[in-house]
Every structure is written in structure tokens, then in C-alpha cells.
Amino acid sequence: MKNMRTWLGLLLIFFSGVVIGGVGGMAMTGKMIRSRLHGDPGIIQKHAVRRLGRTLDLNEEQRAAAQQIVGNAVQQAHDLHREVKPRFKKIVSGAVTNLHEHLTPEQRVKLDEMHEHWQGRH
């Protein structure tokens, strides 16, 4: 019976570590992806071309073409994001303002906190 408790304790510790490690790993991966997406657009291009190269087994000529094509697409997407972002923020802020009319004072405070947190991330 004593051995069984020991093994159950060890298994519990092991599985706790697996769960904590998995959740922590997912959180770190998500943070790294967000930082890369909002940082240097060249990082996205390098990653995309590397993945295309591996998945499609591109030769050097194809890799060079992919580098150019993906680079142009990433730059266009980055420009579009900068162009649309202020308009998007204005829409969200308007929705938050309109929601205030339907909320209690406590709910308004929470909504404002959520909105500030979201703005800090984007």
C-alpha cells in the first residue's frame, strides 16, 4: 500500500509537470509569434520561405522566386495593416462607447480595463 502511494505521488508530480510545461510552452509560443508578427516583417518572410522550401522541396531558383514573391506580399500586408489599423481602432472604440449605455458602472469599469488591455497589445 505504501509503495502504491509513492507511485501515485510520483505520477501526480510527473503529470503536473507535463501539464504545466505544456501550458507554459503554448503561452511562450503564442507570445513569440505575436512579437514576430508585430515586429520586423522580414522575419515573417524568412519563416514563410523556409517553410515553403522544406515542404515543397524548392530548388534554388524557386527559392529565390518565393523570396521575392513572399517579400512583396508581406510588405503589402504590412502596409495594409498600418492603413486599416486606425480605422479599426475607431470602430472598436465606438462600440465600447455604445456599450457603456447598457452597462452598470461596475461593468463599465471592467469593459474599460479590457479595452485598455487590448489597446496595449495592438
> Residues 14-54: pLDDT tens digits?
777 777 877 777 766 666 666 555 666 778 888 889 999 99
pLDDT on residue 43: 82
Question: Does residue 29 form part of some domain?
Answer: yes
Question: Does residue 9 form part of some domain?
Answer: yes
pLDDT on residue 16: 77
Question: Does residue 100 form part of some domain?
Answer: no
pLDDT on residue 68: 95
Q: Residues 44-97: pLDDT tens digits?
A: 888 889 999 999 999 999 999 999 999 999 889 888 988 998 998 999 999 999
Asked if pLDDT for residue 116 goes beyond 70, the answer is yes
* Rounded to 5°, angle at Cα 44 from 41 and 47: 150
Spatial separation of the C-alpha atoms in residues 104 and 37, rounded to whole Å: 37
pLDDT on residue 38: 60
pLDDT on residue 52: 92
Question: Does residue 2 form part of some domain?
Answer: yes
Asked if pLDDT for residue 6 goes beyond 70, the answer is yes
Name the residue among 109, 107, 39, 33 with its Cα closest to residue 74. 39
Question: Does residue 117 form part of some domain?
Answer: no
Residue span of the structural domain in which 27 resides: 1-37
Question: Does residue 33 form part of some domain?
Answer: yes
Tell me if the pTM is above 0.95. no
Question: Does residue 98 form part of some domain?
Answer: no
pLDDT on residue 106: 94
Question: Does residue 73 form part of some domain?
Answer: no
Q: What is the tally of structural domains in the chain?
A: 1
